[in-house]
Each structure stands twice: as structure tokens, then as C-alpha cells.
Amino acid sequence: MSKISIYLNFQGNTEEAFNFYKSIFGGEFEGGIMRNRDIPPMPGMPEIPEKEKNMVMHVALPILGGTFIMGTDMLESMGHKLIVGNNTTINLEPDSKEEVDRLYAALSQGSTQNMAPSDQFWGILGRMS
């Protein structure tokens, strides 16, 4: 079944914010809190500085009606900088790769910054049948 979630970017306080959201909405983090130190080594990936290893790579909390809020700490070492406009993303999870491709093609027309959907270790496309 297709889903929509809201992705929030923070500058180092994701865990604090999500513990606050959890106190409001209840529930548990789906899959716990994934930290940057949990990222498996990948070819060409730069070393994460020690001060960023405990930062949140990904967290997801169910809130209302099957909707999730998800979050991450933006990493200065990767050139990430939090500015108004890049701190919130709507995450679409269609039922098939074909629908992912169709939506991406339609939504990215005329855009100047795009990262095409691809298989990642967290398994977004890997979960699709």
C-alpha cells in the first residue's frame, strides 16, 4: 500500500526533537534510532568525523493515520547546511518501482537539483516486489 511520510532535517538535535514528538504522539520509533556509526562501509564514502558518528542518520515515528515523521541530522562534514526550505521533505512511497519512476520523472521536470531513486542499504526500492 502506498504511503506518505514527512522527513525533517535538523542540525544536530534530531534525537531531542523526536523524543519530544514521541512524548506527544506516543508510540515507538520504527527500527529504533539509526546513527551515523551504523552506516555500513561503502566504496568511495568519506570517513564520518568522530563528532558526527553519534548523530542521527535516520529515525521514524508513526503519528496519525499511518503517517510517519522521519528525521536526520544534517552533517557539516558532508556539506549539509540547514536553511529554511531544505528542512522538510514529503516522502512518497509508491507501490511499485514503475510508479516511483513515473512520479520522479513527472516531479523532477524543470528541476535543477535531482537525485534519482536508487537502491540503498536502508532498502527503499529493495522492499518493493
Range in 7-16, 27-36, 76-85 the model is least confident about: 76-85
| Whether pLDDT at 33 is above 90 | yes
User: Nearest 5 degrees, angle CA 21-CA 24-CA 82?
Assistant: 20
Q: Work out the number of other CB atoms within 10 angstroms of the CB of residue 33.
A: 16
Q: What is the mean pLDDT of the chain?
A: 81
Distance CA 16, CA 23 (A): 11
Helix, strand or coil for residue 31?
coil
Q: What pLDDT, on the 0 to 100 scale, is given for residue 106?
A: 79
Distance CA 31, CA 69 (A): 13
Render pLDDT for 59-86 as a digit per residue (tens, 0 to 9): 999 987 888 999 999 877 666 676 766 6
Helix, strand, coil percentages for the chain (3-state, nearest 5) = 30, 20, 50
